[in-house]
Amino acid sequence: MAEKDVQQTAESGQMAPQQPQRPPTAIPLHQMVYQAIINDSQTTMAWQLGTSANERMGLTMDLISNISLAVEDIGHVRAAELGCGFEQEMFHKSPSKEAYAQAMANKTVEFCKKRQENEAKTQSAGGTPSANSTS
Protein backbone atom coordinates (compact mmCIF):
# COMPACT_ATOMS: atom_id res chain seq x y z
CA MET A 1 0.00 0.00 0.00
CA ALA A 2 2.79 2.43 0.88
CA GLU A 3 4.46 1.70 -2.46
CA LYS A 4 1.25 2.62 -4.25
CA ASP A 5 1.01 5.92 -2.30
CA VAL A 6 4.61 6.82 -3.17
CA GLN A 7 4.00 5.94 -6.83
CA GLN A 8 0.81 8.06 -6.93
CA THR A 9 2.61 10.94 -5.22
CA ALA A 10 5.47 10.72 -7.72
CA GLU A 11 3.06 10.58 -10.65
CA SER A 12 1.16 13.64 -9.43
CA GLY A 13 4.38 15.67 -9.40
CA GLN A 14 4.55 15.94 -5.62
CA MET A 15 7.66 14.98 -3.75
CA ALA A 16 7.41 11.91 -1.58
CA PRO A 17 7.86 12.74 2.10
CA GLN A 18 11.28 11.79 3.40
CA GLN A 19 12.60 11.45 6.90
CA PRO A 20 15.88 13.22 7.58
CA GLN A 21 18.65 10.66 7.78
CA ARG A 22 21.81 10.88 9.77
CA PRO A 23 24.84 8.71 9.19
CA PRO A 24 24.51 5.40 11.03
CA THR A 25 27.60 6.08 13.15
CA ALA A 26 26.58 9.57 14.28
CA ILE A 27 25.86 9.77 18.00
CA PRO A 28 24.03 12.81 19.36
CA LEU A 29 26.42 15.12 21.21
CA HIS A 30 24.51 15.04 24.48
CA GLN A 31 24.59 11.24 24.44
CA MET A 32 28.34 11.23 23.86
CA VAL A 33 28.86 13.65 26.77
CA TYR A 34 26.55 11.73 29.08
CA GLN A 35 28.34 8.47 28.28
CA ALA A 36 31.71 10.08 29.03
CA ILE A 37 30.41 11.23 32.42
CA ILE A 38 28.90 7.83 33.26
CA ASN A 39 32.10 6.04 32.23
CA ASP A 40 34.08 8.37 34.51
CA SER A 41 31.99 8.04 37.65
CA GLN A 42 34.62 6.64 40.01
CA THR A 43 34.72 8.76 43.12
CA THR A 44 37.34 9.22 45.80
CA MET A 45 35.74 12.03 47.81
CA ALA A 46 32.40 12.24 49.60
CA TRP A 47 31.26 15.34 47.70
CA GLN A 48 31.57 13.47 44.41
CA LEU A 49 29.02 10.89 45.55
CA GLY A 50 26.47 13.69 46.02
CA THR A 51 27.01 15.09 42.53
CA SER A 52 24.61 13.62 39.99
CA ALA A 53 25.47 12.86 36.39
CA ASN A 54 22.79 15.39 35.39
CA GLU A 55 24.53 18.17 37.35
CA ARG A 56 27.81 17.32 35.69
CA MET A 57 26.07 17.12 32.32
CA GLY A 58 24.63 20.63 32.62
CA LEU A 59 27.96 22.21 33.54
CA THR A 60 29.77 20.29 30.81
CA MET A 61 27.26 21.15 28.07
CA ASP A 62 27.49 24.85 29.01
CA LEU A 63 31.26 24.67 28.67
CA ILE A 64 31.08 22.79 25.36
CA SER A 65 28.63 25.34 23.93
CA ASN A 66 30.95 28.20 24.81
CA ILE A 67 34.00 26.39 23.42
CA SER A 68 32.14 25.78 20.15
CA LEU A 69 31.18 29.44 19.88
CA ALA A 70 34.58 30.81 20.91
CA VAL A 71 36.95 28.68 18.85
CA GLU A 72 36.55 29.07 15.11
CA ASP A 73 36.17 25.84 13.13
CA ILE A 74 36.65 23.58 16.16
CA GLY A 75 33.64 21.38 15.49
CA HIS A 76 31.22 20.10 18.10
CA VAL A 77 32.92 16.74 18.61
CA ARG A 78 36.33 18.30 19.31
CA ALA A 79 34.72 20.88 21.61
CA ALA A 80 33.02 18.01 23.45
CA GLU A 81 36.32 16.18 23.82
CA LEU A 82 37.96 19.27 25.29
CA GLY A 83 35.01 20.08 27.53
CA CYS A 84 34.69 16.52 28.83
CA GLY A 85 38.42 16.28 29.45
CA PHE A 86 38.42 19.49 31.48
CA GLU A 87 35.29 18.46 33.40
CA GLN A 88 36.75 15.08 34.32
CA GLU A 89 40.01 16.65 35.46
CA MET A 90 38.19 19.18 37.65
CA PHE A 91 35.79 16.54 39.01
CA HIS A 92 38.69 14.40 40.22
CA LYS A 93 41.05 17.17 41.37
CA SER A 94 38.65 19.57 43.11
CA PRO A 95 38.60 19.34 46.90
CA SER A 96 34.89 20.25 47.11
CA LYS A 97 31.75 20.51 45.04
CA GLU A 98 31.95 24.30 45.30
CA ALA A 99 35.53 24.32 43.97
CA TYR A 100 34.49 22.02 41.11
CA ALA A 101 31.50 24.21 40.20
CA GLN A 102 33.65 27.35 40.40
CA ALA A 103 36.35 25.86 38.15
CA MET A 104 33.71 24.89 35.59
CA ALA A 105 32.10 28.34 35.77
CA ASN A 106 35.47 30.09 35.41
CA LYS A 107 36.37 28.06 32.32
CA THR A 108 32.93 28.67 30.80
CA VAL A 109 33.27 32.43 31.40
CA GLU A 110 36.76 32.34 29.88
CA PHE A 111 35.38 30.93 26.62
CA CYS A 112 32.38 33.27 26.74
CA LYS A 113 34.74 36.27 26.93
CA LYS A 114 36.82 34.86 24.08
CA ARG A 115 33.67 34.56 21.97
CA GLN A 116 32.71 38.16 22.75
CA GLU A 117 36.21 39.35 21.83
CA ASN A 118 36.00 37.47 18.54
CA GLU A 119 32.62 39.07 17.80
CA ALA A 120 34.01 42.54 18.57
CA LYS A 121 36.99 41.93 16.25
CA THR A 122 34.66 40.75 13.49
CA GLN A 123 32.47 43.83 13.83
CA SER A 124 35.41 46.26 13.92
CA ALA A 125 36.94 44.57 10.88
CA GLY A 126 33.84 45.25 8.82
CA GLY A 127 31.94 42.12 9.70
CA THR A 128 28.23 41.99 10.34
CA PRO A 129 27.16 45.14 12.18
CA SER A 130 25.27 44.74 15.41
CA ALA A 131 21.51 45.08 15.48
CA ASN A 132 21.83 48.28 17.52
CA SER A 133 23.96 50.20 15.04
CA THR A 134 22.40 53.14 13.22
CA SER A 135 24.03 53.47 9.83
Q: How high is the pLDDT of residue 127? A: 58
Contacts 24+ apart (CB under 8 A), 110-114: 111/63, 111/66, 111/67, 111/69, 111/70, 111/71, 112/66, 112/70, 114/70, 114/71
Average the pLDDT over each of 12-16, 73-77, 123-127, 128-132 and give the range with the smallest value.
Answer: 128-132
Q: Are residues 84 and 100 in contact, defined by beta-carbon separation less than 8 angstroms?
A: no
**Maximum distance among all alpha carbons in the chain?**
68
Residues 94-135: tens digit of each pLDDT: 999 999 999 999 999 999 999 999 888 878 776 554 444 444
> What amino acid occupies position 99?
A
Per 3-state DSSP, the chain is made up of helix, strand and coil in percentages (nearest 5) of 65, 0, 35
The pLDDT, as a whole number, for residue 19 is 56
Domains along the chain? 29-38+46-121 (1.10.246)
Tell me, what's the pLDDT at 133? Answer: 46
pLDDT, tens digit, for every residue of 28-63? 888 999 999 999 878 889 999 999 999 999 999 999
d(CA 78, CA 11): 45
Lowest pLDDT segment from 3-7, 11-15, 62-66, 111-115:
3-7
